[in-house]
Structure 1
Amino acid sequence: MGTAPNQFAADSILRRIATAQDQRQTAVLRTYLQSPKSSYRRAAAMAFASVQDRAALPDLLSALSDADSQVRQATAYALGQTADSAAAPVLASQIATETDAQARRYQWEALGRCVGRTSLPLLLRVPPSTDTLQAVGQAWGLYRAGLRGVTSEAAVRRVVTLLAAAQPYGARLAAANALARTARLDLTQYEAPITAAATADARYPVRVAATTSLSKVKSTALPATLSGILRRDADYRVRVAALRAMNAGMYLPVKEAAWAALDDASNQVAVTAAEFFLTHATGETGKLFLDRANRLANWRVRSTLLAAALHHAAAEEKPGIRAVIEQRFSTATDVYEKSFLLKALGEDPAAYAFVEQATFAPNQVPVISTYGIEALVALRSRPDFPVAQQPLFVSTLEKALATNDVALIGTAATALREPKLEMRGAFRNTELLRQAQSRIALPRDIEAWQALQQALDFLANKTTPTPLPSAAAQHPIDWALVQTIPATQRAVVHTSRGDVVLRLRVEEAPGSVASFVQLVRQGFYANKNFHRVVPNFVAQGGCPRGDGWGGTDYTLRSEFADLRYGEGAVGLASAGKDTESCQWFITHAPTHHLDGRYTIFAQVERGMDVVHRLDIGDRISSVELL
């Protein structure tokens, strides 16, 4: 491995700019936007992508006409991150005169982040057909606008044009994701071009997003199309998308394909198939799913299918199925399997006492108690939850709030502000919430603190949210450590499925990488688990509790460099901007709705095959710096 120093090792000005970014010092960064050295102007412009201070808008708009194209590119990215509608007309004007193709591509995307409904036409001008980068930029702009719900029929027509096979890959990818991610679209009239992309595009990310888009098509041909994709596409991520695009209305014509998917070579597909049956099966007996579950080896697929058995069972079937699940819980040795079995019991109100006893058992491991309280909330949310048991649920929440467990506290607080549970009249012990809040360790448990405060605001019918406390213990960048990290630093994650090699992005995320390196050297990640794996999305680990509620006693500020969530991007989990800690996730495929919202601090270089096999409960034996 190379040991070339990173850009901060010999350049104190770049360290000052990064420190100003980390400390959100707009005034300092403004001065560097005027630097005679273009690399400093570019770094300062990029810093505003993380700072996101609208007070800097005039400075950034001025920098859009900088003599250096890379500065203009960085400025466009920062303007998009700031997402101020006042920037839209200036960006559109710059696009018309921009001489650098790459900078113009960034300006198109930034425009999509800034336009509103009235300024959306600025994004719809059709660029010359010979300028492929403009097509790519416009497609990303339309995607970014669509994510915010800013669209029109004309915009959708343009997006579909950009999905065509003749368009460059970047345009097709953005267009397919725009159709998949823009809410409340009816894409029925575009069934043919979307189906063509879903079934014939050469690149799997386009097929994934186009297949997802088919869920917005109403057609009698759709069940056969989705079943064909599920049976034939070679990429498991496309097969997952096909299952997720299926719904209850097409259950009968697709169920055989979904049934076969329970035996898919990819456990990710099998899990998604089980989730399909849990959510969408109609007219089936509980015994059908119970019998199939008992023949499955993978505990996660089996537990999900047991949940389907309980969910769809007739009244006379439920006691027997519930007994099977409770017996499996009693004999299972894996804490994650036990947790999923409690989750399955969340399908039957008659299991309430069993789940509560397991949740609050003395010295219960956090993972099981976390899944348990979530199952109890799910039970209370069911329409068949007995009215006579509702006071019992209030006492359960009080019991959770009286503990010192952040997951129990945070989940109970979240339930209190769920409108459909109507807890304003039922729960009156607000002092218990305040006492729980006083026990919260900040900034480590900011998520639980926030849930408690939101519950207090909700119960008081307060319309103005109480602001979060200042995170005084945020972690400054350790520059002495950063300067020792090579630009090409690698780390290997040793897992129970095999090794995954990461390249750390120290030049784009120095504070995050320094924290990660420090934790690695302390052995922090040894014997942790992947506690969250969402098929065709992420595998997430690094939680000291093993349930997603754990962290360090400090938080990091977000670092949003010009990086995108493609396959194998490694990001820091957070409870919102500037709350990152020790948990991280690896993406299975492009997930561009995360761009600019979660810090990317590394990229998988080798071992993506391992990442695709990871499942909940798989172990991180250690992480080693190479």
Structure 2
Amino acid sequence: MNRPDRYRRYIRLALLTVTVVSLSPARTGQNEEAKERRSKIETILRIQDTRSIHDGKLISLLTDPDAAVRERAVHAFGSTQDTSVINLLVDRLVNDGEPKVQLEAAFAIGQAAGQLSSPRRERLAHELIWTRLDQLRGPASGGAGPAERLIEEIGKFGTETALTDLMRRFGNEEPPVHGHALVMSLARFAIRGIVAEEGVLHLLKLIKPPDAARWEAVYALQRIGDHPILKNSIEEIAKLTLHADPLVRMHSATILGKVKNENVSLIPLQKLADSDPDWRVRVNALKALGNLTLDGKPGIIETFRRSFFDGNMNVALTALSVFGTAGLRKDSANASAQVFSDLERIAANRENGFLWQLQAEAASAVAALEGGAAIPIITPRGSPRRPLDARLLVALGTTGSPEAAPLLSRYLGQADPVLYRSALEGFQILVEKNRSNRGLIQKMYDAGIAALSVHDMAIVTTAASILGDSLLLRPAAAPRLAETLERLRVPDDVEAIQEIAATLGKLKEQSAVDALRKQLEQPDRSVVRACASALKSITGRSYTSEVPTFFEPLFTDFDFAYLNALPETVRVKMETIRGDVMMELYKQAAPFTVMTFLKLATQKAFYRGLVFHRVVPNFVIQGGDPRGDGWGGPGYSIRSEFSTRTYERGSVGIASAGKDTEGSQFFITQSPQPHLDGRYTNFGKVISGMDAVDKIQVDDHIFDVKIVQD
């Protein structure tokens, strides 16, 4: 028994040795291939992040034998948005054998083509619609294919002619193979203000019968808005308010508010505002009602009054905000007497019975509706809540009463930059409402000049904007603006530099030329372009030749060891005062954004204790600003990483002041927002905790952000 067993062991050992020897070259080859792929992808990521496409390396990788490398190379052009490679992208679109590469090529074309001249956009769209679409292969795995992607992308850049061509080509398609793509393309055309009658009629067909309507078609109609054909079909739209899908109901409410047929719209909108189970629908219904005339409609006024006390804060805040735009007088009707009483009670908040966010919104509404009579109610009383006093200062300006000027002046020169800037903003609104009051105008001018000397980017930006107002444009301001410009630096002062350049361009003072020319050496494309534009306004000649084609980023972090060590699925937990929010981050779609976010969160505890400074009900919550007012960041900027990811409910994006100006501020969407696609870096999604997201309000704290280990 022992000998045969021993022999069998020897045989197994020999076979194993042969197997290992025979597999080693293959495994070595696989490892080498993986190593080469990783090296090429890291090269692509470096080029994409530095925007250094001029050396030809990225272009050469468009035809790499490895499909994964080609896909990543094409993907990079979706962020660089370089128009010089559109022909190469079209080639990849139609000739690459990998559908994923084709899909990325379609996206990159849509991202870049919007920067072309109108004739070039028209020629490109014609070629794509009538020639290239026929050459595309089947769908990529797991979703829509390159043809569908391309049809949708044409909506980002196509002209009126392109829209007509799309409808001729696919409007009567049976079966509607490209139906969803065409709907989203129509929506993207409408976002850009391009609408065709045949497109509207096509969308209206898709909402019949009403219970079969999909939210995307209603969204597209909502983006089209007040169109004659929609006016004639408003009764069909009103039926959608009974739809089972809250997205259909919320967008149909918006349409009713835009078309403004009160005979048809009033009752459905009131029902939605009063009793829809989804708070987002109630928000949209209230906004829609705000577009209608409220005077003489006690039932609608009562709907708003009840909504002031809605159990959902987003609904209550929307009701207060919208009512402030109603233009009602306090004594216009018995119904309004009660609503004004409640409004004033919330704005005064004398016994602190209301949350400060409600008080701030009510104060803005009272200021707009009652003017100077609201001043005793809304004058700041030194609240421990800085955001409340900031809102009250702006509300003082909203009253339009010159009596608010001395109250605002007390806060000019404040050590607290948030209150200082809010006082400037309030004063600016006050002057706008008193454009013939020379005394106020002079005080505003003096305040703007004084604010230029403050070492705070937000205050300087606001001051430059004030001095750029047509009422305040004075040649005497040019030297102070130019002097301020010379001390500002990138990246911290980008927005201030841009605003000063814009004001100097309006002034057209030759004395500012030298200061503006020095700014052409700044390592920021947006700054250089703003200053070149101002110089052209002053001198009459183009400075395009002095704008570099390549800008070396001030901050890069090519820590590929860190990136590669991250799991393929990266999950983080954001602990907030309203509960935990679990998020999955898109490591592949936005690697540098994900890495920056994680390093800030885990290595620097950057987000610990910060607040959400911006909440727009049924749109976004936004946080991550160390200043707490929307003007702060980490002290550097990173580049945009655009992708085919769409903004759905719970998408996580990075806030920016324009392309390649991202930092630490992030936002989470509360409903689908297609107009953000391809414009803001989409780097994750909420996988649990949307109930907490929906409860978060301005000044709510983030306790911490942590990586979740599987």
Determine the structure 2 residue equivalent to 1:525.
607
- TM-superposed deviation, 1:168: 7.9
Determine the structure 2 residue equivalent to 1:262.
308
Pair 1:384–1:416, CA change in 2 (3 A): closer
- TM-superposed deviation, 1:126: 3.3
Secondary structure of residue in 1 paired with 2:686: strand
Secondary structure of residue in 1 paired with 2:325: helix
Aligned-residue Cα RMSD (Å) equals: 2.6
Aligned AA (1:449): I
Aligned pair partner of 1:483 in 555, 560, 564: 564
Gaps of 5+ in 1: 1-6
Determine the structure 1 residue equivalent to 2:112.
82
- TM-superposed deviation, 1:142: 0.8
Determine the structure 1 residue equivalent to 2:505.
457
Q: How far apart, CA to CA, are the structure 2 residues paired with 1:261 and 1:157?
A: 36
Pair 1:357–1:21, CA change in 2 (3 A): same
Determine the structure 1 residue equivalent to 2:664.
582
Determine the structure 1 residue equivalent to 2:247.
205
Secondary structure of residue in 1 paired with 2:410: helix
Secondary structure of residue in 2 paired with 1:283: coil
Aligned pair partner of 1:437 in 485, 488, 493: 485
Pair 1:168–1:559, CA change in 2 (3 A): farther
Moved more, 521-530 or 374-383: 374-383
Aligned pair partner of 1:502 in 555, 579, 583: 583
Confirm or deny that 1:402 pairs with 2:483. no
Aligned AA (2:138): D
Q: Does structure 2 retain, via aligned residues, the 8 Å contact 1:311–1:347? A: yes
Moved more, 537-546 or 118-127: 118-127
Aligned pair partner of 2:133 in 71, 74, 95: 95
Determine the structure 1 residue equivalent to 2:355.
298
Q: How far apart, CA to CA, are the structure 1 residues paired with 2:189 and 2:388?
A: 41
Q: What's the TM-score, normalizing by structure 1?
A: 0.91
Determine the structure 1 residue equivalent to 2:317.
271
Q: How far apart, CA to CA, are the structure 2 residues paired with 1:167 and 1:107?
A: 29
Where in structure 2 are the equivalents of 1:68-467 lying within 5 Å?
68-83=98-113, 84=116, 85=121, 86-92=123-129, 93-101=131-139, 102-103=144-145, 104-124=147-167, 125-126=169-170, 131=175, 134-164=178-208, 172-182=214-224, 185-186=227-228, 187-197=230-240, 199-219=241-261, 220-247=263-290, 249-252=292-295, 253=297, 254-285=300-331, 289-294=343-348, 297-313=354-370, 318=373, 321-326=374-379, 329-348=380-399, 349=401, 350-361=403-414, 363-364=415-416, 366-383=417-434, 386-418=437-469, 421-425=470-474, 428-460=476-508, 464=536
Pair 1:314–1:611, CA change in 2 (3 A): closer
Determine the structure 1 residue equivalent to 2:67.
38
Determine the structure 1 residue equivalent to 2:625.
543
Q: What's the TM-score, normalizing by structure 2?
A: 0.80
Determine which structure has greater relative contact order: mean sequence separation of CA pairs < 8 Å that are 6+ residues apart, divided by chain length: 1
- TM-superposed deviation, 1:32: 1.6
Pair 1:262–1:133, CA change in 2 (3 A): farther
- TM-superposed deviation, 1:135: 0.5
Q: How far apart, CA to CA, are the structure 2 residues paired with 1:288 and 1:460?
A: 51
Please give the per-residue CA displacement for 1:181-235, whole angstroms capped at 9, x wherever unaligned. 24663431121232223x1333222322222122221312222221111112211
Q: How far apart, CA to CA, are the structure 1 residues paired with 2:36 and 2:662?
A: 24
Q: Does structure 1 retain, via aligned residues, the 8 Å contact 2:238–2:265? A: no
- TM-superposed deviation, 1:166: 7.5
Gaps of 5+ in 2: 1-33, 332-339, 510-533, 538-542
- TM-superposed deviation, 1:162: 3.1
Please give the per-residue CA displacement for 1:413-462, whole angstroms capped at 9, x wherever unaligned. 122334xx42224x622122122222323112311221111111122285
Q: Does structure 1 retain, via aligned residues, the 8 Å contact 2:71–2:104? A: yes
Q: Does structure 1 retain, via aligned residues, the 8 Å contact 2:435–2:441? A: no
Aligned pair partner of 1:597 in 679, 684, 704: 679
Q: Does structure 2 retain, via aligned residues, the 8 Å contact 1:343–1:372? A: yes
Please give the per-residue CA displacement for 1:334-383, whole angstroms capped at 9, x wherever unaligned. 1112212222212233212212312422x32x332332222221112114
Determine the structure 2 residue equivalent to 1:19.
46
Please give the per-residue CA displacement for 1:589-626, whole angstroms capped at 9, x wherever unaligned. 11111110111112111111111111111111222222
Q: Does structure 2 retain, via aligned residues, the 8 Å contact 1:139–1:174? A: yes
Aligned AA (2:363): L
Please give the per-residue CA displacement for 1:482-536, whole angstroms capped at 9, x wherever unaligned. 1222221212112122211111211111111111111112111111111111111
Q: Does structure 2 retain, via aligned residues, the 8 Å contact 1:531–1:617? A: yes
Please give the per-residue CA displacement for 1:553-589, whole angstroms capped at 9, x wherever unaligned. 2211110011111111111111110111111111111
Q: How far apart, CA to CA, are the structure 2 residues paired with 1:399 and 1:62?
A: 57
Aligned AA (1:238): V
Q: Does structure 2 retain, via aligned residues, the 8 Å contact 1:9–1:482? A: no
Q: Does structure 2 retain, via aligned residues, the 8 Å contact 1:572–1:600? A: yes
Q: How far apart, CA to CA, are the structure 2 residues paired with 1:589 and 1:450?
A: 32
Please give the per-residue CA displacement for 1:303-360, whole angstroms capped at 9, x wherever unaligned. 2222322332276xx1xx312322xx22421111221222221223321221231242
Q: How far apart, CA to CA, are the structure 2 residues paired with 1:293 and 1:581?
A: 35
Q: How far apart, CA to CA, are the structure 2 residues paired with 1:477 and 1:157?
A: 51
Confirm or deny that 1:67 pairs with 2:97. yes
Pair 1:8–1:407, CA change in 2 (3 A): farther
Q: How far apart, CA to CA, are the structure 1 residues paired with 2:166 and 2:291?
A: 37
Q: Does structure 2 retain, via aligned residues, the 8 Å contact 1:9–1:483? A: no
Q: How far apart, CA to CA, are the structure 2 residues paired with 1:463 and 1:490?
A: 48
Bigger helix share: 2
Please give the per-residue CA displacement for 1:273-300, whole angstroms capped at 9, x wherever unaligned. 1111211141225656313544661222
Please give the per-residue CA displacement for 1:251-276, whole angstroms capped at 9, x wherever unaligned. 13322211111111111111111111
Pair 1:399–1:55, CA change in 2 (3 A): same
Secondary structure of residue in 2 paired with 1:601: strand
Moved more, 24-33 or 372-381: 24-33
Moved more, 65-74 or 589-598: 65-74
Determine the structure 1 residue equivalent to 2:85.
56
Moved more, 429-438 or 458-467: 458-467
- TM-superposed deviation, 1:133: 5.1
Aligned AA (1:460): K
Q: How far apart, CA to CA, are the structure 1 residues paired with 2:287 and 2:222?
A: 12
Q: Number of residues paired by the alignment?
A: 606
Confirm or deny that 1:512 pairs with 2:593. yes
Aligned AA (2:215): L
Secondary structure of residue in 2 paired with 1:424: coil
Q: How far apart, CA to CA, are the structure 2 residues paired with 1:94 and 1:59?
A: 13
Determine the structure 2 residue equivalent to 1:3.
none
Fraction of identical pairs, as percent: 30
Secondary structure of residue in 2 paired with 1:118: helix
Secondary structure of residue in 2 paired with 1:33: helix
- TM-superposed deviation, 1:157: 1.4
Please give the per-residue CA displacement for 1:165-191, whole angstroms capped at 9, x wherever unaligned. 57987xx33322222224663431121
Aligned AA (1:357): R
Q: Does structure 2 retain, via aligned residues, the 8 Å contact 1:123–1:142? A: no
Q: Does structure 2 retain, via aligned residues, the 8 Å contact 1:288–1:309? A: no
Please give the per-residue CA displacement for 1:108-151, whole angstroms capped at 9, x wherever unaligned. 10222232112222221336766555110001111111111221
Larger radius of gyration: 2
Aligned AA (2:125): A
Q: How far apart, CA to CA, are the structure 1 residues paired with 2:614 and 2:35?
A: 34
Aligned AA (1:312): L
Q: Does structure 1 retain, via aligned residues, the 8 Å contact 2:650–2:668? A: yes
Q: How far apart, CA to CA, are the structure 2 residues paired with 1:249 and 1:551?
A: 40
